[in-house]
Structure 1
């Protein structure tokens, strides 16, 4: 090695030392000096790529790592590149990148762990479990591996094993919040609360812990304890924050200020929480999903609306719609607070007719979303209801799940042209006005029926979403709603048998 190369490597090692102790800006400056002096310095390119990944710039990292690997296809470079591909939400590419490393280094626990991450992100929990178990066998003290394995077992619905594994993990806030989540899913609510208490003693200001505490308190019906932690959902990463230059409104009198209320989650959440808007006094503008504006306009007490994403006029302060109950403690409008258009009601009433017990049904939300896990169910489960004399099942379902109607084995009426325009739920709301009952999974259809004040039965998984709480057949959100709950994970048959029994004969 030439004297110049030795000098460059000495400078590079100085950058590595700064990198290790967290002085990242200084490390980056040195790495760039090394590359300026020796553009083909593979280790410096790799280190700069690793820094870019740490800084949340995975696209930049990928370019740098590709250059480094082109010069020196080292195994640790490939591992960093796999992490980068995971950050770019390309889990299958990450798995493909790490497998050659494992062929060359089959005893690398770190490589098996990265493969587990990739397979978990690719929704292959069984294969992810195998990878994490291999990493654990090779290096039992590998950081986070028990936590990783526990969460893969949870993803595979192997909840008892997940809890046992997470109990063996070091009692750190991340593993404890995951343990609490598994305990909650198992219905061990006292254990979940105790575990979260333990985690909060370690990290009392953690947004993730405080947000998870709020979800548990909501579920347990301890609402006053829930709202403060609920406000941590943005800092916890559960909901992407919106970038506004205006200050957040904290619920104080508006005076001459103009308030923009914006949405943050799904259509069902918007329908549920718009009930708080009429109670706010002052100059208010509501940024609503474009597809919902016409439906929401059926309530003249709601403020003026602009489409979500449109540049708003001058505003002074902002707040999320779902923050209103936590920040204002204002009373909420009671259903019905949305209304079907009379002309549409007349149209659909004529098409549906008056005969029989008319039941609108919906069985699937958005497949593939984690939030929908365990909520949806197959249409075939409605067979006990179809067998009740005089019942007519009328589909309110949209999307790919409609294909199940052909193979149902019992009559299900369909309504061609339902909500075929750009606006959401206008026809569905009018159809609901002509039905005797709506029976649905936990999705936006349930919120729509409740907001319209229509009779609605909701089938809920064993541990439901926080808003439905526990051990009650009614909902404080919607007085016309009745809740039917699983008594065991995944066991829907008794739920629908109970519904069939409850139908009028």
Structure 2
């Protein structure tokens, strides 16, 4: 059976696989497994159309190979062809009903298609065949359970991330805190995952102190000023050597330790916006043009994030919002995607570029304070605006970050946030159509009330 779970392979493995597959195909163009191995290496290189074609060529020569069907399903799912991906995985299981990797890939495809009940059933079947839950199966089950709001079991499974080879975190330096009373012990709270995750779970740091701990907080420099109100006993720069402490805990373990449920999500942390950041924002944004609505926009998160291609879009759909009378757009975008503003040429005047002036999240927070609304695809700025309590319309992918659940317009994690959800076809056009209609309604409502300068409710 062809191996199908190549998520944790080193980059060099792809080159070796590709060269071996090409040599095998030179010797025998009908070698089905070589075609599929070539497809696997192309998928990992992001060449999905070619990968899919290679797997299908392999199936021409060996239609009964469950592993090739599963590889095809992986590529189809990654290409956003979700229903086709699930169908291929179902065929793979029919051909190889006890293959553990095939069963795992089926579960992943079902979750990514938003078929959560089916995904949980598939995970149960894979657990049975494995003789128990592996770390990868527990991780997949965690993502599914958290997505449907089963925090009690989901957070327990979420700890399995630490056993996954690709998991990135600092090496342990002290015993893990298990949630018991701390009685004045020094607790090293370590950073994990991205900026948005740090903003999300910063709300738990005061609870560590309330549990009797003396927190030592590892913090990215970009977040230090805006989170300065947390006032831990000690700040540690991200990646610095571990301090002397009694116990340690990863920040993403805190929701589990504090028994978080959908009904008990703590409110967002109170952010600190320094006076100099507010002064910069006042100078840049100036006085409001009468009768206008200031709308911040962000269209992409950090490009190094694995799922960014799924959650991001481009600047162009946001420009349609500038057609609405009274709407003024302000870009909060950072990173390589800022170049899309330069590409607009004279039309770039439709969007005020704030990104070049944003040195950290405190600067971004100060800008957001002077806006009426933020409309964006999901990234760390969504957590920032949500923590500030600024009205934010978050445009989320079909299977978004788990805090957004799978249905509805609201999330308990950020009361000021409204969600606009992508459908299973992964098309942003209907999402932006809904946003434009909602913004038309909002401008009309506020114009009727004569309250455009008062900020959204």
> TM-score range, shorter-chain basis?
0.7 to 0.9
Specify the structure having the higher radius of gyration (Cα): 1
* 8 Å CA contact 1:275, 1:332 repeated in 2: no
C-alpha distance in 2, partners of 1:319/1:92? 38
SS in 1 for 2:176: coil
What RMSD over aligned residues (CA atoms) do the two structures have, in Å?
A: 2.6
* 8 Å CA contact 2:266, 2:413 repeated in 1: no
Instruction: Please say if 1:470 is aligned against 2:406.
Output: yes
C-alpha distance in 2, partners of 1:108/1:148? 15
* 8 Å CA contact 1:147, 1:166 repeated in 2: yes
1:332: how far off? 6.2
C-alpha distance in 2, partners of 1:431/1:100? 57
| 2:246 alignment partner in structure 1 | 316
SS in 1 for 2:161: coil
Q: TM-score, normalised by structure 2?
A: 0.84
Instruction: Please say if 1:197 is aligned against 2:128.
Output: no
**Kindly tell me: are residues 413 and 426 of structure 1, through their superposed partners in 2, closer, same or farther at Cα, counting changes over 3 Å?**
same
C-alpha distance in 1, partners of 2:193/2:316? 30
1:395: how far off? 0.5
Deviation track 1:59-86 (CA, whole Å, cap 9, x = no partner) reads xxxxxxxxxxxxxxxxxxxxxxxx9x96
**Kindly tell me: are residues 188 and 155 of structure 1, through their superposed partners in 2, closer, same or farther at Cα, counting changes over 3 Å?**
same
C-alpha distance in 2, partners of 1:159/1:245? 42
**Kindly tell me: are residues 137 and 86 of structure 1, through their superposed partners in 2, closer, same or farther at Cα, counting changes over 3 Å?**
farther
Deviation track 1:207-239 (CA, whole Å, cap 9, x = no partner) reads 211221121111112222311111111213462
1:302: how far off? 4.3
- Equivalent pairs, count: 419
SS in 2 for 1:429: helix
SS in 2 for 1:253: coil
Q: TM-score, normalised by structure 1?
A: 0.76
Instruction: Please say if 1:452 is aligned against 2:388.
Output: yes
Gaps of 5+ in 2: 1-5, 445-457
Gaps of 5+ in 1: 1-82
> Which of structures 1 and 2 has the larger relative contact order (alpha carbons within 8 angstroms, sep 6+)?
2
1:136: how far off? 3.6
C-alpha distance in 2, partners of 1:494/1:360? 20
**Kindly tell me: are residues 416 and 151 of structure 1, through their superposed partners in 2, closer, same or farther at Cα, counting changes over 3 Å?**
closer
Instruction: Please say if 1:490 is aligned against 2:426.
Output: yes
Instruction: Please say if 1:111 is aligned against 2:111.
Output: no
Deviation track 1:378-403 (CA, whole Å, cap 9, x = no partner) reads 21112342122111100101122222
The worse-fitting range, judged by mean Cα deviation, of 165-174 and 274-283 is 165-174
> Map of 1:210-225 to 2, 5 A cutoff?
210-225=138-153
C-alpha distance in 1, partners of 2:126/2:242? 41
Deviation track 1:304-335 (CA, whole Å, cap 9, x = no partner) reads 21011212331222211000111232776523
1:406: how far off? 4.1
| 1:228 alignment partner in structure 2 | 156
**Kindly tell me: are residues 89 and 453 of structure 1, through their superposed partners in 2, closer, same or farther at Cα, counting changes over 3 Å?**
farther
C-alpha distance in 2, partners of 1:458/1:391? 18
